[in-house]
Amino acid sequence: MNKDNLFSKTFLLLFISNFFIFIGFEMIIPILPAHLASLEASTLQIGLVTSLFTLGAVIIRPFVGYYLMNGQRKMLALFASTALLIITLIYPIISYVWIFLLFRFLHGLAWGISTTTNSTLVVDVIPKNRLGEGMGYFSISTTVGAIIAPSMGILLYDAFSFDVLVWSSALLTLLAIFSLKFAYTPAPAKSNRPPFNFWAMIFEKEIWFIALLGILTSFSFGSILTFLVLFGQEMGLDQIFLFFLVNAIVSTVLRPFTGKWYDKNGPWSIIIIASFMGFLSLIILSYANNHILLIISAILFGAGYGTIMPSLQTWAVQKVSNEKVGSANGTFFSSFDIGVGSSALLLGFLANWLSLSLIYRLVSISFLIVAILVFYDFKKKPYTTDNSPR
């Protein structure tokens, strides 16, 4: 067997499983508020659909990371996928709002387990000298899945019903479980785990710097998720979906090249260049009064944000020992949740006084801060002889 083979059977099965998990999950997200409204939920309760889910995902990840130090990783991934399947199937039969919200919290718990464990499993099977390239390819399963799923969900809901949407989501999750079942994953090396410390596990101290970069970068993404549709209406852009489409295409096409660049040169140069692309993207977006500028902005954002996030995740798992990969992945995903959540909260407050164009110019500074911090880290921590970041 070629130990440098990236596209092994296990890697492909894990990719397929993660792809179906993300589509099955993301396709019901835009419909849940409308479904909850049909149950006569209040505005506050509809807002809790996202808040309780995020809370569940963040709370569970420290426990998952601790277990993954030397626990049965594949078994936990199968458990999480099965839990996602069951919870999804229960949604249509719930008629009480607060019970529905309780299951959203449980859904968050299952999602936190699934995302952390799946990312840890794939690290185990990627050749170490191709980790950047491998994680870049694997992240396509999340990016493309998340991009196409909302449109699929809305189409199924409008054409059929909420029940049909749920059954479609469940079928995809079931396919994900079968793919995962047939993937051979090596058992982690046994080690003596330290005593469990919730706060230490929720924030893996060895990657605190990378987590900070993740928060700053995902803060910019949160501004896109929260305000882009409203910004399009404000600027008279009736084809705002082009931003999401072009962003997904560019980030996907570039993954093989940026991953190889990372493996050859490390994280610093690729993240600094991508940060400047992200900065220019948001500046151009803030002035976008036609679709040409919107597409240029999307190209730069796909090259910038779409490069930084998989690079940060690769950097995070390289910084820790194998038994800590789970906690590192948990911290990384939590930094994403914190960045997106804080962006929606803070920018939503500022939007009462500032135009969306000005907000995007302000948010663009977060990319410059990332570039400055990474450059400082490069000057402070040069390369080791094996081209891996210290």
pLDDT digits (tens, 9 = 90+) for 268-280: 999 999 999 999 9
The residue assigned the tokens 């390239």 is 133
The upper half-sphere exposure of residue 307, i.e. CA atoms within 13 Å in the direction of its Cβ, equals 30
Nearest to 109 by CA among 181, 41, 56: 56
Report the SS3 class of residue 28: coil
Task: Please give the full DSSP string across 339-376, using - where no structure is assigned.
Answer: HHHHHHHHHHHHTTTS-HHHHHHHHTHHHHHHHHHHHH
Alpha-carbon gap, residue 285 to 128, rounded angstroms = 38
Q: What is the CATH number of domain 199-382?
A: 1.20.1250.20
Q: Rounded to whole angstroms, how far apart are CA atoms 86 and 72?
A: 21
Positions of the chain with pLDDT lower than 50, given as ranges: 1, 383-386
Residue 332's φ and ψ, nearest 5 degrees, are -60, -50
**Which conformational region is residue 5 in: left (phi greater than 0), alpha (psi within -120 to 50 degrees), or beta?**
beta
pLDDT of 292 reads 95
Tell me, what's the pLDDT at 216?
Answer: 96
> Could you tell me which of 362, 372, 252 has the C-alpha nearest to residue 307?
252
pLDDT number for residue 188: 66
Asked if residues 238 and 287 have their Cβ atoms less than 8 Å apart, the reply is no
Q: What are the two backbone dihedrals, phi and then psi, of residue 90, each rounded to the nearest 5 degrees? A: -80, -25
Identity (one letter) of the amino acid at 181? K
311 sits in which H/E element: helix 291-319
- From 18, 17, 46, 43, select the one nearest 30 (Cα to Cα): 46
Nearest CA-CA partner of 115 in 333, 336, 305: 333
Stretch(es) of the chain classified as CATH 1.20.1250.20: 1-185, 199-382
For residues 311 and 132, is the Cβ–Cβ distance under 8 A?
yes
Amino acid letter, 340: V
Report pLDDT for 347: 80
Q: State how far Cα 311 lies from the chain centre.
A: 13
At the fourth CATH level, the homologous superfamily of domain 1-185 is MFS general substrate transporter like domains (1.20.1250.20)
Look up residue 90 and give its two tokens.
Answer: 């229960």
pLDDT digits (tens, 9 = 90+) for 62-106: 888 888 877 688 899 999 999 999 999 999 998 888 898 899 899
